[in-house]
Amino acid sequence: MEAQIESLQAEALAAINAAETSAALDAARVKYMGRAGAIPLLSEGMRTVAKEDKARVGKALNALRTDVTAALEAREYALAHAADAAALSQIDVTLPGIAPLRGSIHPLTQLLDKAVRIFRRMGFAIAEGPDIETEWHCFDALNTPPHHPARNEQDTFYMPDGRLLRTHTSTVQIRTMENQPPPVRIIAPGAAYRRDEVDATHLAQFTQMEGLYVAEKVSVADLKGTIEFFFRELFGEGTAIRFRPHFFPFTEPSFEIDIQTASLGGKWMELAGCGMVDPAVFEQICSRRLDRAYDPDKVSGFAFGFGLDRLAMNLTGIPDIRMLVENDLRFLKQF
Ligand code: DAH
């Protein structure tokens, strides 16, 4: 029996160390250690071993099992290691790598982030509304009567069901006031659409930012202070700002805002519209809400709106608005 153990040990260890693949190693494992393998088979012979020899032979059998198990483990590790080394030998670590393509933030998004940060500091929250709007939210509620030229089919994209692509983000003023009582202090950045001929200064889809502040005793002074703070933060300390009387159906009085910066060489540039919310707008809201939360005798407010594309162009010297949507990497990489 002991001689058998010895020769089986030599045979098993030789077979294990000769295994060149994990499949060959598995075969050796089954052959010697498997349920019907050589070692379990030999162990059955223990029954016939004389009583006084049992301890010695048992010990030798245990040693055989331990040695073969250890040899299997060592060989398995060696094979895995060799496979890894072979895979790595295909890689030349001295070759130059492939640099990942680094994107950058679109100039319009950069401006939007900056604008939002400035208004956040003044307590404005972001509000949203749908791009496909009802005529009521886009025009009627904003005191824009049916005969107004802005409602012309030549100026706006209408859906078959009578809804339209919003021509301005002023719609979000209305949606905000419909849904929450004063005080409200919101900005609403988003897309606006017009049936414009696309050229260097016009797109059929562009980006606007609307603002609205309604509370008790809001005055033109609040409007001017807010707007001046915003444009000075954006364009720098030396920026001159001018409020020019204008007309918008939804504000009274209304102004256009012009700025003058060193980079404009003394020229005034028109940037935004604004004004005090027209009492007629508040009355529309009251009739929708079925309450007097926006009673024009109790609350007042200001609103403003500007085109972000135009602003981005002027801040960064982009000569053609179409560049903002063409996704030309040579252009985008500059920002
Ligand atoms: N909605 C106007 C436009 O698209 C911009 C505007 C002007 C918004 C005056 C306002 C405002 O809120 O008070 O040209």
- Pocket test of ligand 1: the residue of 170, 196, 300 to mutate, having most ligand atoms within 8 Å of its CB, is 170
Q: Which two tokens stand for residue 81?
A: 């290691």
* 3-state DSSP of 45-78: HHHHCCHHHHHHHHHHHHHHHHHHHHHHHHHHHH
pTM for the full predicted model = 0.72
- Tell me which amino acid residue 62 is: N
Residue 264 pLDDT > 80: no
C-alpha distances (whole Å) from 78 to each of 18, 72, 75, 95, 239 are 12, 10, 5, 29, 73
Minimal-distance CA residue to ligand 1 atom 8: 305
For helices 220-235 and 107-121, the axis angle rounded to 10 degrees is 140
pLDDT value of residue 149 = 82
Using an 8 Å Cβ cutoff, are 282 and 296 in contact? yes
Q: Classify strands 125-126 and 184-193 as parallel, antiparallel or unpaired.
A: parallel
Ligand 1 atom with the smallest distance to the CA of 251 is: 13
Query: Per-residue pLDDT averaged across 75-81, rounded?
Result: 93
- Tell me which amino acid residue 23 is: A
d(CA 174, CA 286): 11
For residue 252, the number of C-alpha atoms closer than 13 Å in the C-beta half-sphere is 10
Query: 324: CA distance to ligand 1 center in Å?
Result: 22
Minimal-distance CA residue to ligand 1 atom 7: 273
Minimal-distance CA residue to ligand 1 atom 4: 168
Q: Residue 165: CB within 6 Å of ligand 1?
A: no
DSSP 122: T
Residue 240 pLDDT > 80: yes
Among 29, 74, 250, which residue's Cα sits nearest to residue 145? Answer: 250
Give the pLDDT band of residue 266 (cuts 50, 70, 90).
Answer: confident
Among 122, 149, 309, 320, which residue's Cα sits nearest to residue 229? Answer: 122
Query: 292: CA distance to ligand 1 center in Å?
Result: 25
Query: 273: CA distance to ligand 1 center in Å?
Result: 5
Per cent of the chain over pLDDT 90 is 68
pLDDT value of residue 91 = 87
Among 235, 237, 224, which residue's Cα sits nearest to residue 269? Answer: 235
What pLDDT digit, counting tens, does each position of 168-203 carry?
Answer: 999 999 999 999 999 999 999 999 999 989 999 899
d(CA 34, CA 26): 10
| Average model confidence (pLDDT) across the chain | 93
- Pocket test of ligand 1: the residue of 138, 142, 168, 186 to mutate, having most ligand atoms within 8 Å of its CB, is 168
Give the pLDDT band of residue 155 (cuts 50, 70, 90).
Answer: confident
Kindly report the number of other CB atoms within 10 A of residue 89's CB atom. 8
Query: 110: CA distance to ligand 1 center in Å?
Result: 22
Residue 19 pLDDT > 80: yes
Q: Which two tokens stand for residue 313?
A: 């162009």
Minimal-distance CA residue to ligand 1 atom 2: 305
C-alpha dihedral sign at 185, 189, 191, 194: positive
Using an 8 Å Cβ cutoff, are 303 and 250 in contact? yes
Q: Which two tokens stand for residue 217?
A: 């005793």
pLDDT value of residue 257 = 96
Query: Per-residue pLDDT averaged across 124-141, rounded?
Result: 97
Residue 227 pLDDT > 80: yes
Give the helix ranges, DSSP H, for the chain.
Answer: 2-18, 22-33, 38-44, 54-88, 107-121, 135-138, 171-179, 220-235, 279-289, 308-316, 329-332
For residue 80, the number of C-alpha atoms closer than 13 Å in the C-beta half-sphere is 6
Using an 8 Å Cβ cutoff, are 187 and 116 in contact? yes
- Tell me which amino acid residue 101 is: L
pLDDT value of residue 101 = 84
Query: 170: CA distance to ligand 1 center in Å?
Result: 6
C-alpha distances (whole Å) from 315 to each of 49, 110, 269, 310 are 98, 11, 12, 9
- The CA radius of gyration of the chain, in Å to the nearest whole number, is 40
d(CA 277, CA 83): 75
